[in-house]
Amino acid sequence: MKSFQTKKLLLDMVEVEDGTAKGIYAAVKQSFSDLHVPVNNIIGYSSDTCNVMFGEYNSISQLLRAKFPDVVTVKCSCHLIHLVSSQAALQLPKGLEDLCRDVFAHFRRSSKRQDTYKEFQEFFKVEPHKLLAPAQMRWLSLEACVNRILLKEEVEGLIRSISSDFMEVPYIKATNPKDIDPSNVGFQLPLDKTYVRLAATTTLHEIKEVTGEDHADVHNFLMNCRNFLIESIKQILQKFDIEAEIHDVVQCTLPRNAAAHVPPSPTEVVKKLPYLNTVLATKKLDGEWREHVFEEKLTPDLKWEEYWLVIKDAKISSGEPKYPNLTRFVELVSSSPFSNAAVERMFSLLKRIKTDDRTRLKSSSLVSLLHCKLAMKNGNYTAAGLKPTKQVLDLISEMKSNATDG
């Protein structure tokens, strides 16, 4: 087995006439029914945090949990961290952002000004740069957020890291991250000790050398930075439930925890995810969990995928898998959703397919094109190497002859 990665595939894309939670939920159930997929196969649900999706009452997550109590519902971590940064950014002055917008608008509205800007670059022999419009960064572009799960310890580590930029380290070490009060001035460092990274710190020192004193603008800059950091921590504590059980569930699969039998038995996790009882022999799982740590190739410092590949590839003398239940356990736990980044990627692909020249494509055609694109990508196929059968060619000809609106 060469990979232990969770696969993300497109099942369907449905047009809905009723945008309420009940309407969308009904459309989801109907799609599963049309595709002959049992709805009770759903083990997890993740989406953005709007009321329709994750409201306290009559949201899709609530409707899903009412019918299937064992389903894991998690707010998209990527969306949450984007909201955190957006709220914290409100603590920063808007002057610079307004200046960037004004400069962009000044050149965008005039081709003559753009030509003058180009001549200016050529005259000074600088690398040509296209002026970009400032905008709120879409979280999908944050690769670090999309490519990794925000585990409990990572959220806690983020809180500690931000706190250390303006608060006393002994206080941070002695306090549970969820109990850190960033507004407590008694544990804040002096304003001039606020850490703003190396480049900014160097610039501040240069300013002080020139002026010979602490400039008022420097004070305002540091105060704005501190307010940004304080608001960041407040928003993280408000939006992330770092005490949620799902974080403990995922952490048990970390190599250093698994190698140390933390927890002592995976049955503690199975209790939190009852659907596992339907696909696992829990007694055998317990034995495999206790035994797997003695595999010679295993070390706690292995990467997550490397660690569990050793377990997945282990065989008994007859050639059968040595840890079938443990392998299945890790596969299911790691399949728990933590973001809807995969869905956002589908929308990005959709925009590339539905161009100005292809605006009349039906939803069924769009879904088929997406399926083809993803299948070819996952199978390492190319259009040039595709060999359609006669049946496929006849079907294409028939579709073309009967086509009306795509």
List, for residues 344-356, the tens digit of each pLDDT value. 888 888 888 887 7
- Assess if residue 11 is contained within a domain: no
Q: Report residue 296 as tokens.
A: 């010679």
Long-range contact list for 285-288, CB < 8 A, 24+ apart? 285/325, 285/326, 285/329, 288/322, 288/323, 288/324, 288/325, 288/326
Note the pLDDT tens digit of each residue in 180-199.
999 999 999 999 999 998 99
CA 11 to chain centre: 19
If you compute the radius of gyration of the chain from its CA atoms, what whole number of angstroms results? 27
* Between 343 and 18, residue with greater pLDDT: 18
Query: Do 304 and 262 lie in a common domain?
Result: yes
**Based on the structure, what is the number of domains in the chain?**
3
Report whether pLDDT(150) > 50: no
What pLDDT score was predicted for residue 222? Answer: 93
- Judged by average pLDDT, the poorest of 113-122, 139-148, 231-240 is 139-148
CA 302 to chain centre: 23
What pLDDT score was predicted for residue 144? Answer: 40
Query: Do 234 and 312 lie in a common domain?
Result: no
Percent of the chain with pLDDT over 90: 34
Cβ pair 221, 191 in contact under 8 A:
no
CA distance 325 to 254: 17
Cβ pair 243, 179 in contact under 8 A:
no
Q: For residue 138, name the pLDDT band (cuts at 50, 70, 90).
A: very low
- Assess if residue 66 is contained within a domain: no
- Assess if residue 21 is contained within a domain: no
Report whether pLDDT(106) > 50: yes
CA-based max dimension of the chain? 83
Cβ pair 58, 352 in contact under 8 A:
no
Query: Do 92 and 179 lie in a common domain?
Result: yes
Cβ pair 268, 251 in contact under 8 A:
no
Which of 270, 265, 268 lies closest to 292 in space, CA to CA? 265
CA distance 264 to 286: 9
Query: Do 155 and 234 lie in a common domain?
Result: yes
Note the pLDDT tens digit of each residue in 231-272.
999 999 998 887 777 777 788 899 999 999 998 998 888 888
Query: Do 91 and 196 lie in a common domain?
Result: yes
- Assess if residue 40 is contained within a domain: no
CA 274 to chain centre: 25
- Assess if residue 50 is contained within a domain: no
CB atoms within 10 A of CB 365: 17
Q: Is it true that the peptide bond before 388 is cis, omega within 30 degrees of 0?
A: no
- Assess if residue 28 is contained within a domain: no
- List C-alpha distances in Å: 305 to 2, 16, 247: 10, 39, 18
What pLDDT score was predicted for residue 59? Answer: 93
Query: Do 148 and 211 lie in a common domain?
Result: yes
Of 239, 272, 298, the residue at which a domain comes to its end is 239
Which three-class secondary structure state does DSSP give residue 46? strand
Of 335, 362, 389, the residue at which a domain comes to its end is 335
Compute the CA torsion angle 380, 382, 388, 393 (nearest 10 deg).
130
In this prediction, residues 20-26 reach a mean pLDDT of 93
Cβ neighbors of 3 (< 8 A, separation 6 or more) are 305, 309
Query: Do 257 and 181 lie in a common domain?
Result: no
Query: Do 193 and 288 lie in a common domain?
Result: no
Average pLDDT, the chain: 84
Q: Report residue 53 as tokens.
A: 């999706």
Query: Do 275 and 295 lie in a common domain?
Result: yes
Note the pLDDT tens digit of each residue in 200-241.
989 988 888 888 777 888 999 999 999 999 999 999 999 888
Domain range for 124 is: 80-239
What pLDDT score was predicted for residue 143? Answer: 40
Query: Do 230 and 358 lie in a common domain?
Result: no
In this prediction, residues 105-113 reach a mean pLDDT of 83
Query: Do 321 and 365 lie in a common domain?
Result: no
Query: Do 105 and 227 lie in a common domain?
Result: yes
Cβ neighbors of 18 (< 8 A, separation 6 or more) are 24, 26, 27
What pLDDT score was predicted for residue 177? Answer: 92
Of 239, 273, 308, the residue at which a domain comes to its end is 239
The residues facing 48 across adjacent strands are: none
Note the pLDDT tens digit of each residue in 44-101.
898 888 899 998 888 999 999 999 888 888 888 888 888 888 888 888 888 877 887 8
CA distance 98 to 167: 31
- Assess if residue 344 is contained within a domain: no
Q: For residue 140, name the pLDDT band (cuts at 50, 70, 90).
A: very low
- Assess if residue 126 is contained within a domain: yes
In this prediction, residues 120-128 reach a mean pLDDT of 77
